[in-house]
Structure 1
Amino acid sequence: MNKKFLFSTLIALCCFTTAFAQNKTKQDSKLEDPDNLASQYFSQVMGVAVNATSNLKLYKFIYEWIGTPYSFGGNTKKGIDCSAFAKTIYDKVFNTTILRNSRDIFSMTDPLSKDELKEGDLVFFKIKSRSISHVGVYLGDSRFAHSSSGGVKISNLNEPYYSRYFYKGGRILEGTKTEFVEE
């Protein structure tokens, strides 16, 4: 029994080593690039196609907030609401000051349809209301980050709930926006 185990382990190890050596040269250039590693990581964790042109600071920031509890009027990692989360992202990632209320934030944007959305745009919802009551930050691939009753999370605009209440996207008007800050 021990000989069979050792033999099969040796065979598996040889196969693994051969496969690893063949793939190593293909992946060496990709693995040496920290931005590529970060892009791959965030793509897997967040379910969004993060690429070389993506704002990795945005994804890192959101990742650090995932799971923060929802708190109406809150603006810290102990609890935060949707508009404070969007405001914090714009302050810290895009070096842009936006207003604190989702309806007021919408007034600072150029309205967009779903198919015009780009990474960093805002998404607005009228949830059981005639006026805008919720905001999130678009990530791409129909996904957006927001703070809701389940806390800070990433959701899909195509989910029936969000699809039903989606109002419009919005891009901060040019006079307001400054480029994101690199660290």
Structure 2
Amino acid sequence: MLFNIRNCVFAATIACASLSLFSLPASASSSLLPQNSFTQKINNTTTIKNAISSVYAKWKGVHYRFGGSTKRGVDCSALMQHVFSDTVDMHLPRTTREQIKLGTRISKNELRTGDLVFFKTSRYQRHVGVYIGNNQFMHASKRKGVTISSLDNSYWVRHYESARRVVDDYTA
């Protein structure tokens, strides 16, 4: 474990996932709450970026598989579950539909390392990744597997939907 966060909560969305620290509504299931309390806080962007880079090194190139959650094949929301579990010891919900409800909605120009980015790829499907800085995000691509892409890519520009800040206990 690279670092932990104190008193965090998170969730997931259809087919994909990402990072988050937030307060759940009273109606949210208690099963989404972290299993333990954590004492060490994230103190800078470099630390979280290094942690995400470490996860990327382990998953780079793993093929995309809808519903997959292992190195034999992983989808975007399951990858986000691994990213957050391995970096901040958070247990995200399984789907992008749930993950997009987490944290605080932020504008594209407010993105910080560790924020979740969401894309509407069809009428009923979403895609999620984690922002890593320099207008790039890590995700599980159907064509390239686990990879890093640019938010400036015309495909991602056309399908960008929103971003959510789920980890607030650090300063950029």
State which structure, 1 or 2, has the greater radius of gyration over its C-alpha atoms.
1
Identity of aligned residues (%): 36
Match of 1:17 in 2: none
Match of 1:148 in 2: 141
Higher helix share: 1
The aligned length equals 125
Cα distance in 2 for partners of 1:101, 1:60 equals 23
How big is the shift at 1:173?
6.7
What is the identity, as a one-letter code, of the residue corresponding to 1:77? Answer: K
What secondary structure does 2:80 align onto? helix
Cα distance in 1 for partners of 2:53, 2:132 equals 8
Question: Is 2:83 the counterpart of 1:85?
Answer: no
Match of 2:163 in 1: 169
Cα distance in 2 for partners of 1:154, 1:161 equals 14
What is the identity, as a one-letter code, of the residue corresponding to 2:139? Answer: H
Aligned residues of 1:83 and 1:100 also touching (Cα < 8 A): yes
Aligned residues of 2:76 and 2:129 also touching (Cα < 8 A): yes
Cα distance in 2 for partners of 1:93, 1:124 equals 20
How big is the shift at 1:90?
0.6
Match of 2:116 in 1: 122
Gapped runs of 5+ residues in structure 1? 1-50
Match of 1:106 in 2: 100
Cα distance in 1 for partners of 2:125, 2:64 equals 18
Cα distance in 2 for partners of 1:173, 1:120 equals 7
Runs of 4+ in 1 over 6 A off after TM superposition: none
What secondary structure does 1:168 align onto? strand
Could you tell me the TM-score, scaled by structure 2's length? 0.67
Aligned residues of 2:114 and 2:167 also touching (Cα < 8 A): no
How big is the shift at 1:114?
1.0
Match of 1:6 in 2: none
Aligned pairs for 1:54-73 within 5 A? 54-55=47-48, 56-73=50-67
Aligned residues of 1:110 and 1:173 also touching (Cα < 8 A): no
Gapped runs of 5+ residues in structure 2? 1-43
Cα distance in 2 for partners of 1:138, 1:94 equals 15
1:78-107: CA deviation from partner (whole Å, max 9, x where unpaired): 100000001110111111111110110011
What is the identity, as a one-letter code, of the residue corresponding to 1:143? Answer: Q
How big is the shift at 1:168?
0.7
Higher relative contact order (CA 8 A, sep 6+): 2
Could you tell me the TM-score, scaled by structure 1's length? 0.63
Question: Is 2:46 the counterpart of 1:53?
Answer: yes
What is the identity, as a one-letter code, of the residue corresponding to 2:149? Answer: S
Q: What RMSD in Å do the two structures reach over aligned CA positions?
A: 2.0
Aligned residues of 1:121 and 1:137 also touching (Cα < 8 A): yes
